[in-house]
Structure formats: structure tokens, C-alpha cells
Amino acid sequence: MSAPAQDRIDRLEAAFGPLDDPGNPCGQDALLAADSAGRAPAAAEAVLDSFAFDAEFVPERHGGRLARMDVLGRVLRPVFRRDASLGFGYGLNCFFAAVPVWTGGTDEQCALAARLLLGGRRIAVARHEVAHGNAFVREEFAAEPVAEGYRLHGSKSVIANAARSAGLVVFARTGETRGRTHSVLLLDRDRLPAGRVRNLGRRATNGMRSTDFSGLSITDCTVPHEALVGSLGDGYELSLRSSLVIRGLIPSIVLSGADTALRTVAQFATRRRADGRSSLDVRHVRDVLTGAFLDLLLGDCLAAVATRALHLLPRQMSAYAAAAAYQAPKLLAESMDEMSAVLGKATFAEAGAYAMFQKQLRDLPVTSLGHAGSAGRQVSLLPQLPYFARNAWFADPEAPAALFRVHDGLPPLDLSQPALLGDGDPLAATLVACTDRLEGAADASRDGGTLRFLARAFTSELADLRKAFTDIAPDDRKALASPHAFGLADRYSLVLTAAACLGVWHEQRAGTDAFLADPAWATAALYRLGRRLGLPLPDRPAADEERVLAEVLARLHGRRSYDLYGSALA
């Protein structure tokens, strides 16, 4: 990673100050008070204002700072470690809204979106309804062609930042032809006819309470021809293409909140009671802390692969973005459940030293859903897997080493390049290549027999998946929509997670981070994944897990983040 990018991340973290400082206006107590009141934390928003945070969401060619998707994922972490409402409501939702414009808009439309964001204003997105979508109610906008452009009408009750937005990206129904039913309109609210757009009341939510989820009603509002992004009927394709960009950020978002949750539970577990003992004396508590950290590392491996693949493997990254957005929230949600059992009644605290856990527990389901949630991510995976089984698995070359070298540079970001369906699966090939290297290693003591066994077990699982998907015809929609196929897609995403983990570990062996160079964390992580899959496993790698637990405690006391980077915390 470039020095200027790392400097931005460090400066933002320092500007927020210590989360556990009761006198900090951006600390835990202030954030919890704002969350309880359902209002934006003013001091924290002021920090983002001074940082010109929305410039992170504008590509460099349009005057912003967005050059690398993995850097954007990391810049988001200091914000989301503190408050998902702040991160989403202040800026990330604006990025979600702007991606269709960056992807398919004209130079003039991109300039408008950039001018709004760089001027500190917000853009909201009103998406179309889809099967299995996460809307509170079923409603949408429609646009009819007229001489002056399009007459827009309709309403949606829940749009993030609706009332605070100066720009709108509206997915409106413009036809009935299958696959071409919706179009995208970019609107500057200041230029819309007076009285045609009305803000609706705010909706209360259990998670991300400070985010403005309100609605809009638009009545017979004529918008110009140049508001159309792309061509008429491009809405569905623009939505899919946007998802390729957005999904890679989901792991960074959810792991940031889980990072704070783990730190909260680790502080609880290490506190000494009057008899000198602590919860760490209990084997189950140690296992929970170890497992939660491993899940965070696995989620970050997925984050690295999904975001870096946008630059390095744009023709193959579709499956990785979907798998990352699907699997990382699942892994971390399970960790949160396990950690809540360690906290016990403190899980429900809404004030005091452990109250941030309850907030992160409430926010996680909202931050991870997105537009179409886990079902939509699996649906985008499934059509690719029969093709991979026939043409890619055990045949493709492995992914480039740069995919896993998280500190290395990347080619320029070009959002026109990612393909909706992958033409190969080099990440799966990395799993096979790492397995072969481990089995051929001359120094068996360095990498360990357990890691070799686990890598082979996941490679065997990939072979089983190849057989299962070879038996499914690529055009057999009924078979691909079956519960059996969805279960296979879940298994595939876990295999990809193992491949990402092995790839990251392999490329860190010669690095300066002693922990990431150690095979202990990769061994313990693959063992944990293998248990989820029900694979035949060797004896539990107790010594490797102890090494991981030691790192959990070292990062707690050293105030470092629980991800691949071990960043210094304020």
C-alpha cells in the first residue's frame, strides 16, 4: 500500500481518538448516546467533514481519491469500528448510489455526482424491487417517456439518506420487456420542479439507529433526457455491474464492527476477579476468542481477494465478490453469537464498558444485507459453477501472487472491465497449487503436516464439487434453484475462503509480520473452516490455536486491529 494511503488511514484513526476515552466526543459514550437518541453523532461527522471523507468515494479521474478498492475498504474501517450508522449514513451509501454513475454514466453525469460529493453533499439511491429483496414494503418508481424527457412518479418508504440527499439515483420502471424493465435516472434535487418531490417520515430500525431511513414520494415530476444513465432498460445490468464493485467492500464493513466486538469481549474475559482468576481460565472462553479472531482473518482474506481482483482479475472476479459478500457476514454472525455467550448478561448492556458489543450486534445484520442479501449473492454464484466444474477446476492456472500480497501496488481501477460471469476460477487453482506445494515441501517442519492434510481435504472437497456440478446442466434452472444446489454453493464459498486464506499466508511467509508468516494461523483457520464443512479432520491443532490466542491478547494490550494489517488504534 502506498505511503499516502496508509497515512490517510492513520490520520483518520488518530482524528477520531480513543474509543474507550469517556471524555472523547467521538468516543464510545458519545456514540452510544447518539445511537440511543437516533441522531447522527455530530462530533464524528465533523471529523469526516474535515477529512473530506466523501472524496474517498470519487474516482481520481473525477477529482476524488478513489484509486484502489482495497484501500477504500481499509479507509472505511476506522469509521465502521466505531459506528456503522456513521460510516453508512455519512458516506458509504453515497458510494453505493454513485457506483451506477461511475460504471455507466456520461462524463457530464460523473461530473455532477463528483461535484455533489466533493462539495460535501449526499446522494441517495432508490433501488427497484427484486425477488427476495430486503425492502420493508413492495413499492417503486416508474418513468414514462415524454417530449421533455421522462415523467417520474411513485414512492418508496425506505431510502437511506432520502431526506439528507442533494442527488438521487432512481431505478425506475420504464417497460415490461423481461430483463429491460428498469432504467436509471440521476437527478439533482435542486433542479427538479418545485413541489414534485416530498420527503416521507423516518422509519425506526433496530440496527444502525442513527441512519436516516426515510422515504420519498414523487408526483408527475418531469426530468430531462440527460438524466438517463446508460440506455433505456439498462437498470438491471447496471445494478448487477454495480454489485461487482460494492460486494467486495462488505467484508471490510462487517469485520470492522466484529473487530470492536472481539476487543470488547477480550477486555471482559481478561479482567481479574477478586480471587485473581479471569474468564480466560475457562477453555471455552479461550476457544471463542481464538475462533472469533480466526473468522476476522478469514473475512479479511476474502476482503483482500474480492477488492484486489477488481484490478487484477476483472474477468474472473464476479464469483469472488459474491462469495465474499455472502460468506464473511455468515462467519462473523456466528462469531458474534459465540461471543455473546461469553459476555452473558453483559451482552444486553446499553451503557458502560461492554455496551459497544450490543450496538455491534444490532448493527451487523443491517450492514451485511445490501440490496438482495445472501440469497442474491448465492443466485449470482450458482450459474457460474457448472461452467467452472467443466472448464476451470483443476485446469486453470493459479491466481497471480499479487492478489494475496496485501501491501503491494495494483493496476489502475477500471470499472468498465469487470465481467458479470467469470470465465475461469484462478482462486480455486491457487488452492490446488498451494496443496501441491505443501505436499512437495522439502522442509516439512516449517509448514506442518496438519496444514498439508487440511489443504488436501479442501482440494478433495473441490473435486467433489466438480463432480456434483458437472452433473447439473448449465441451463437447468430448476436444478440450480434447488436447496441442494444452494447448499453446494455454500460449500463452494467455504472452499474459496480456504483458498484465499492459503494464498494470503503463502505470500506473507517472507514478509515482516511474524504472525502472518507463521503457518499456525492458517492451520487453525482451515481447521475451523473444515469443521463447518464436516470434512474429515486430523487431531485438533492445539498449539497453533494457542499461538492465535496469544496474538489476540497481544493486539488487545498493544491496541492493534484484529485484521490482516494489525493497524495501530487511537
Q: Are residues 274 and 213 in the same domain?
A: no
- Neighbour count for residue 27 (Cβ, 10 Å): 21
553 belongs to a structural domain = yes
Looking at the structure, do residues 220 and 327 belong to the same domain, yes or no? no
Specify the pLDDT at position 511. 86
- What pLDDT sits at residue 129? 58
359-400 confidence digits (pLDDT tens): 899 888 887 764 456 777 888 899 999 999 999 999 999 999
- pLDDT 10s digits, 73-116: 999 999 999 999 999 988 899 999 999 999 999 999 999 999 99
Helix and strand numbers (H, E) in the chain are 23, 8
Q: Are residues 401 and 293 in the same domain?
A: yes
Q: What CATH number is given to the structural domain containing 25? A: 1.10.540.10
Higher local confidence (pLDDT), 135 or 300: 300
Main-chain dihedrals φ then ψ at residue 197, nearest 5 degrees: -120, 125
Cell numbers at residue 120, please? Answer: 460535501
- What span, in angstroms and rounded, lies between the C-alpha atoms of 248 and 462? 23
Q: Convert the pLDDT of each residue in 280-338 to its tens digit.
A: 999 999 999 999 999 999 999 999 999 999 999 999 999 999 999 999 999 999 999 99
The predicted structure's pLDDT at residue 432: 97
With a pLDDT cut of 70, the percent of the chain lying above it is 95
142 and 180 part of one domain:
yes
Q: Which of left, alpha, beta for 530 (phi over 0: left; psi -120 to 50: alpha)?
A: alpha
What percentage of the chain carries pLDDT values higher than 90?
Answer: 73
Residue 137 has pLDDT above 70, yes or no: no
Residue 412: C-alpha distances to residues 38, 109, 312, 321 (Å): 40, 21, 9, 18
Task: List the alpha helices (DSSP H) in 76-221.
Answer: 77-80, 84-87, 93-104, 107-118
126, 371 Cβ separation under 8 angstroms? no
Give 568's DSSP letter: B
d(CA 558, CA 566): 10
- Domain boundary, last residue among 85, 103, 119: 119
Provide the 3-class DSSP secondary structure of residue 152: strand
Residue 464: which of 389, 379, 526 has the closest Cα? 389
Of 98, 119, 140, the domain-final residue:
119
Residue 371 is predicted with a pLDDT of: 44
The answer, yes or no, to whether residue 520 has pLDDT greater than 90, is yes
C-alpha cell at 328: 464473511
Mean pLDDT of 227-248: 92
- Residue 138 reports pLDDT greater than 60: no
Domain count, the chain: 3
Give phi and psi for 192, each to the nearest 5: -85, 150
Q: Which domain holds residue 383?
A: 240-558
pLDDT band at 207 (very low <50, low <70, confident <90, very high): confident
Same domain, 423 and 505: yes
DSSP for 240-307 reads HHHHHHHGGGHHHHHHHHHHHHHHHHHHHHH---TTS--GGGSHHHHHHHHHHHHHHHHHHHHHHHHH
- Cell numbers 499456525 label which residue? 520
Domain assignment present for residue 570? The answer is no
Is 399 within a domain? Answer: yes
Q: Are residues 202 and 331 in the same domain?
A: no
d(CA 111, CA 140): 27
pLDDT of res. 373: 62
Backbone angles phi and psi of 173, in degrees to 5: -70, 125
In which element (H, E) is residue 47 found?
Answer: helix 42-50
Rounded to the nearest 10 degrees, what angle do helices 449-470 and 483-508 cross at? 150
Closest CA to 198 of 237, 230, 235, 159: 159
Largest CA distance in the chain: 81
Would you mind telling me the total number of residues written for the chain in this entry? 570
In a domain, 569, yes or no: no
Q: Is the pLDDT of residue 134 over 70?
A: no
Task: State whether 244 and 350 are in the same domain.
Answer: yes
Residues 89 and 172 in one domain: no
- Specify the DSSP element, H or E, that contains 66: none
- Specify whether the CB–CB gap between 504 and 431 falls below 8 A: no
Are 294 and 497 in contact, with CB atoms under 8 Å apart? Answer: no
Q: What is the pLDDT of residue 306?
A: 97
pLDDT of residue 479: 84
Position 474 pLDDT exceeds 90? no
Model pTM score: 0.94
264 and 330 together in one domain: yes
Same structural domain, 330 and 351: yes
Nearest CA to 422 among 443, 392, 451? 392
For residue 454, how many C-alpha atoms fall within 13 Å in the half-sphere facing its CB? Answer: 30
Compute the Cα dihedral for 332, 333, 337, 342 and give only its sign: positive
**Computed over its alpha carbons, how large is the radius of gyration of the chain?**
24
CATH number at residue 415: 1.20.140.10
Give the span between the Cα atoms of 469 and 480, in whole angstroms: 9
* Residue 97 CA, distance from chain mean position: 16
At position 534, the amino acid (one-letter code) is G
DSSP β-bridge partners for residue 214: 159
Please write down the HEC assignment for all residues of 159-170.
EECCCCEEEEEE
Q: Are residues 412 and 437 in the same domain?
A: yes
CB under 8 Å to 328, separation ≥6 — which residues? 250, 251, 254, 255, 298, 299, 302, 303, 368
CATH code, domain with 128:
2.40.110.10
